Chain A
Amino acid sequence: MNQIVIIVVSVTAIVSVAIALVLVRIAKINASLDLRRTAAAVGKEKDAADLSAIEKEISEAVSSTKDKKELAKKLGETFGKEIKRHAEAVEAETSRKYEKVIEERKASEQIVARRYKKVLQDKKQTEAIMQSVAEGLVVVDKKGKVLLMNPAAEKILDTKREDKINKSLLADLKDGQLVSLAKEGRKKDAGPKTIEFKSNQDETQKVIRSSSAVVQNENGQTVGMVSVLTDITKQRELDKMKANFVNTVTHEFRTPIVAMQKSILVMLSGATGRINDAQEKFLSIAKRNLERLNLLIDDLLNLSKLEERKMSLTLSNCSLEEVINDVSETVNTWAESKAIFIKKNLQPDLPKPYADPNRIAQVMNNLLSNAIKFTPQKGTITVEAKAIEKGKMVQVSVADSGIGMEKGDEEKIFDKFFQIGERTTTNVTGTGLGLPITKEIVEMHNGEIWVESVKGQGSTFIFTLPVID
């Protein structure tokens, strides 16, 4: 029995020692591992060599395992604290930065929110303006699709905004509804255009004036177009009525005059029987005055159209030489019958004014006719044309050697129905409207007209016309 006890105790002792040694060994390994870990954690990139150097030093400094353990523990703690402190610092820093970012972000968002609010307000304001404007407003993008449309435009185009947004303005128009559309000029012509189309509701035709402007962004690129639409249907109707009225009135005047004239002519022709001298004389007076009436109506019609600017000018680069020569030829026979010589003094290479040749011919005809009328036998008429103001204007003058006019009449002569002095009675003397009409025509061309005259010696009528390139 004692032998077994001795063996057990011995074995236990040996095993204990072995375990202790192993534990020490483990502890030692752990310690050195701790060191390494610690060193690494602190972030210092030390070589393994360095680590083992530390180990070695520590090992030399510390003799016992217990001390080593203690040292390792202390080192570990210290390093641990350092790491923790560092980590906390980094965390704090990161956290602070993060908060700052958050705040900046919030601030930006607030700015954005404010701006958005302002934009909304502006948009509302624009919409309010668009809603209340009486004219139709339509904004289209580059492709012609509708972006914005106000109620007035809806009404004018007989359509609903919802139906048109993002569609081409002219889409959905039934065949035959669009009567005419002046094509959008490629030249971005900003002049007003006229569109006629049949409205959806009633079968009436509407006439719309459209005035457009391109919309550019800050880089000067075209991004769309805004159009102002005005319903001018009523205005057009009114114009038509007015034109109709004038035409009807002139027709009404002409009809009885024609009837009278034909009746008189038929008597004068002898078809109703032989007429005696007295009958002939008085019938002739009637005939003559009917002709005057006819001319008067023509002139009145002319004048009323001019005054209402209804008479449109067909402008072109007008060759004054041609016009003057043509008109002189027409009146030549008449002039020759009075032995009056018409002299022409036209500057060579006369600039061509931008004018309506027919109307200028009318002016020349009037001035030359007046000259012939008021110049006695064997007189002279001189027509001159030259450039003035460095070629920016042309000046034409018709000078006669006739009876001239009173001082002070130079302005009145352009008044309607003003006629000078004695009139020869056997020919149709005119209506008193020739010069007012002439004046209207010249002024419609942005020119000027005036007269210089000396009583008993003659008059010179002068007018200017601008030359536009």
Chain B
Amino acid sequence: MGKKIRILMIDDEEDFTEPMSFWLKSQDKDVRTVTSGKAGLEEIAKDPPDVVLLDIFMPGMNGVDTLKEIRKINSDIPIIMLTSAVVENVQEAYSMAEITKLKVSGFFKKKDSFEELANLLEITLRLHKGLEGGE
């Protein structure tokens, strides 16, 4: 099967998305990157990817709001939240409850390794085939 996995990364930090995207491409994935929630919504509406990597902490429309909007137009595309793992971050902690309700496939801590990212992607896509994503 030659079809490449198509990933959409929504994150305003270009210095982060560049190495991420480069590495994912080196793993034979197709990667699109946008820097705002709004742009992400447009992409998903126009041409949905196989999986979305969504940053929580963004200016403008933040990750949680973007998630809500995505779920309005697409209720089962797998979404992995990207977090800087500041657990004590009140804003993020607050969002955890809302996020869990909105069907998220998993969380990737930005400081974790590429291998862990690959793992998470594999599990997510495998689970998603024929199942609803998230708990």
Contacts and interface: CB of A to CB of B under 8 A. Distances in A.
Contacts, number: 65
Interface in B17-34: 18-20, 22-23, 26
Interface range on chain A: under 10, 10 to 19, 20 to 34, or 35 or more? 20 to 34
Contact of B16 (A240, A259, A294, A301): A259
A366 interface: no
A269 B27 CA distance: 11
Main secondary structure of the interface of A (DSSP, over half): helix
B114 A266 contact: yes
Interface stretch (B42-50, B61-69, B81-89, B98-106): B81-89
B122 interface: no
Interface string B33-75: 0000000000000000000000001000000000000000000
B15 interface: yes
Interface residues of B, number: 21
Interface string A300-341: 010001000000000000000000000000000000000000
B96 to A, nearest CB: 14
Contact of B84 (A255, A262, A266): A255
A265 B114 contact: yes
Nearest to A263: B19
Contacts of B22: 266, 271-272
Contacts of A246: 88
A269 B18 CA distance: 15
A177 interface: no
A259 B90 contact: no
A265 B20 CA distance: 10
Contact of A244 (B20, B26, B57, B90): B90
Interface in A244-265: 244, 246-247, 250-251, 254-259, 261-263, 265
Contacts of B13: 255, 259
Contacts of A247: 86, 88-91
B84 A265 contact: no
B90 A243 contact: yes
B19 A266 contact: yes
Interface of A: 240, 243-244, 246-247, 250-251, 254-259, 261-263, 265-266, 269, 271-272, 294, 301, 305
- Sort A-B residue pairs by CB-CB distance and give the 4 closest, nearest first: A271-B26, A259-B15, A262-B19, A266-B19
Interface of B: 13, 15-16, 18-20, 22-23, 26, 57, 84-86, 88-91, 110-111, 113-114
9 contacts: A254-B84, A255-B13, A258-B84, A259-B13, A263-B19, A266-B19, A266-B22, A266-B23, A272-B22
